[in-house]
Structure 1
């Protein structure tokens, strides 16, 4: 079984048969680095399952670009506003490196959810994971130890270092790029 499928199954606790049913209903799409999947103010109800690559969710306020999440192979990515409320997104979703993902429209996904209690539970699990990720991000942003947050981030998603600019990692950690440089230098010692 492919690594991204195994990672997805583990994170969302979904049986292989249900995941295969979902993937069979999805379209495989290639995305180029810096491509915008969802722009601020746009509506997108699609669910994406990342096969390879890294994506980020971010918003721009007062000229400051703040990253609020990263998603990599084996993770779902979607606009919570479009997915849950069919409304415009206040964040953008951007591809950080050339990527391959599976995509299903919100309408097709809801039809699929209606056909299977297991897949309907997947929809619930997606939202639960999104909520947990958001709360962890908020809690860690108040942590006085940016170095600990950085070490956790690179432990969980080491490929970020290869494909994501330092300024985006720093904004996710709620620190300046200069502070991140100091942390990285200290770790290398």
Structure 2
């Protein structure tokens, strides 16, 4: 099974020594299901890297609906760009969907580390490039013409979600109702039975 360090290296292009250098400046934290690292309206400027667990980023739209923006798991970063970049109250919440472990670092400590050397600056750049890539990928997949295609992509990339995330949050992420998601899941199950 891939460690979170290996996962982070694979996804970000960092070397194992880069990851170890970053971890040396971070604090390991155990998280319980339901814990919130960033609250809507809060000002948490820390950055977290997931060792284990499933996370959900959400916001409340103008109609008062709780909307899931994205899910994150092992090797992914967690932070509010409103807080970290804009120094403003967060528009999103980051909530644990399962028990887990993260490494965290404050904004000031992260900036000090990234400015300490050319190598440290490269580590920061690679991490931010990964996040920009993931955002663009998410935007493109959310524009997929069919909810079933978006659901299949989600299963391919983060199958472990089904063990920890209520279906209403997955439906919200896919921009469909829970009833539509149930129909898609039933159709896929019937398709699998026909093949066997």
Structure 1 residues 130 and 117: alpha-carbon distance in aligned structure 2, compared to 1, 3 A threshold: same
Partner of 2:128: 127
TM-score by length of 2: 0.90
Q: Does 1:90 align with 2:79?
A: no
Q: Does 1:24 align with 2:24?
A: yes
Q: 5+ unaligned residues in a row in structure 2: which ranges?
A: 191-196
Q: Is the 8 A contact 2:14 2:126 kept in 1?
A: no
Q: Is the 8 A contact 1:12 1:122 kept in 2?
A: no
TM-score by length of 1: 0.94
Q: Secondary structure at the match of 1:107?
A: helix
CA distance in 2, matches of 1:78, 1:124: 15
Between 123-132 and 89-98, report the one with greater CA deviation: 123-132
CA distance in 2, matches of 1:18, 1:137: 26
Query: Offset at 1:144?
Result: 1.9
Query: Offset at 1:179?
Result: 0.7
Q: 5+ unaligned residues in a row in structure 1: which ranges?
A: none
Partner of 1:57: 57
Q: Is the 8 A contact 1:68 1:137 kept in 2?
A: no
Query: Offset at 1:188?
Result: 0.9
5 Å-filtered alignment, 1:86-125, equals 86-125=87-126
Q: Does 1:68 align with 2:61?
A: no
Q: Secondary structure at the match of 2:115?
A: helix
Cα distance per residue 1:34-87 (max 9 Å; x no partner): 111101111111111111101111101122111111110111111112222222
CA distance in 2, matches of 1:126, 1:176: 34
Aligned length: 189
Partner of 1:138: 139
Q: Secondary structure at the match of 1:115?
A: coil
Query: Offset at 1:2?
Result: 5.7
CA distance in 1, matches of 2:118, 2:154: 33
* Structure with greater Cα Rg: 2
CA distance in 2, matches of 1:167, 1:119: 40
CA distance in 1, matches of 2:167, 2:129: 29
CA distance in 2, matches of 1:173, 1:110: 35
5 Å-filtered alignment, 1:138-157, equals 138-157=139-158
CA distance in 1, matches of 2:89, 2:44: 7
Partner of 2:38: 38
Cα distance per residue 1:157-189 (max 9 Å; x no partner): 111000001011111111111111111111111
